[in-house]
Structure 1
């Protein structure tokens, strides 16, 4: 069975033509929400789906689904053994190609919805290191020349514990000097 879903947040004069459009796509039942806040009709459409049914939507944009909502929808359809058909894109989640395309769309949506203030991946977290690379090189040279550890720590403005921690990292090869 093919079940259509519409989200009509525009002026409500075109409801009839959109319903006829869904019927022209061989939808036996059509559910339509008038705003994206309730989604009651989408819930009813999902509840009516059984195995091998297809949920038909015109376009992902006009369905008003964000990345998380689309992912939840696909998961619910998968649990029920149903599929999603997006008519405007000509794809179906029942085919391997359609699944790949939907995953690519989902990835694009996630990237576009990512907040601008989010930290980039791979960013070092935690405290800022006490010594930068040039200071570590200077520390290693001072110790090689035979300076006393307390004098080196005092000259660099770090505690003796910090100096020993960097000294151990240098000796273990954790920091290239």
Structure 2
């Protein structure tokens, strides 16, 4: 009997697949047939749970995803995937396309999949351009770009340098600060320059 095989993915460990999983289960995917990758980029060719989902697909089964970008980032990658599904005799259902099945074995389904893959890639590239533009504008304006806050102040580094100059081992001073010796040296050089 044909099965629905669900696949969900998020790119970072901080993101949640809860919404994707709920949508897939609501679409009829059994929990046992749900595969989830956490912290795996769509740009990677190999995704452990995605590979398992593909291994589970047999002729007549349908792979169900919430959005087309869960499959990959490039049109070329998605088209290769469509060929893989066609060879297996499996279907694809993308929930954000109105819940209809996209039969990649038919000319119309293949065309729709190609168009949607190209649109997904274009959307990704537009987002990327916006992020790059935003970063450059923030940098030009001298604004903070975020990142991990420095826990060790410049004043603490200067005090630590004085300890090393007074004969304390640099490795011990760095360890006491909670950083590697290389980081300690780099930070102390940046203050000296």
| TM class, shorter-length | 0.5 to 0.7
TM-score by length of 1: 0.54
Matched, 1:26 2:25: no
Go from structure 1 to structure 2 and tell me whether the alpha carbon gap of 1:105 and 1:11 turns closer, same or farther (over 3 Å shift): same
CA distance in 2, matches of 1:83, 1:49: 9
Match of 1:5 in 2: 7
Match of 2:84 in 1: 76
Contact 2:68 2:120 in 1 (8 A): no
Match of 2:111 in 1: 100
Match of 1:41 in 2: 49
Deviation at 1:70, TM superposition (A): 0.5
Of Structure 1 and Structure 2, the greater helix share is in 2
Which residue of 64, 79, 98 maps to 1:56?
64
Go from structure 1 to structure 2 and tell me whether the alpha carbon gap of 1:73 and 1:6 turns closer, same or farther (over 3 Å shift): same
Q: What are the ranges of 5 or more consecutive residues in structure 1 without an aligned counterpart?
A: 114-177
Secondary structure of the 2:64 match is strand
Number of residue pairs the alignment of both structures matches: 113
Report which of the two structures shows the higher radius of gyration computed on alpha carbons.
Answer: 1
TM-score by length of 2: 0.50
Go from structure 1 to structure 2 and tell me whether the alpha carbon gap of 1:81 and 1:43 turns closer, same or farther (over 3 Å shift): same
Deviation at 1:62, TM superposition (A): 4.0
CA distance in 1, matches of 2:121, 2:23: 30
Deviation at 1:6, TM superposition (A): 1.0
Note the aligned Cα RMSD (angstroms).
2.7
Deviation at 1:78, TM superposition (A): 0.7
CA distance in 2, matches of 1:50, 1:5: 15
Go from structure 1 to structure 2 and tell me whether the alpha carbon gap of 1:108 and 1:49 turns closer, same or farther (over 3 Å shift): same
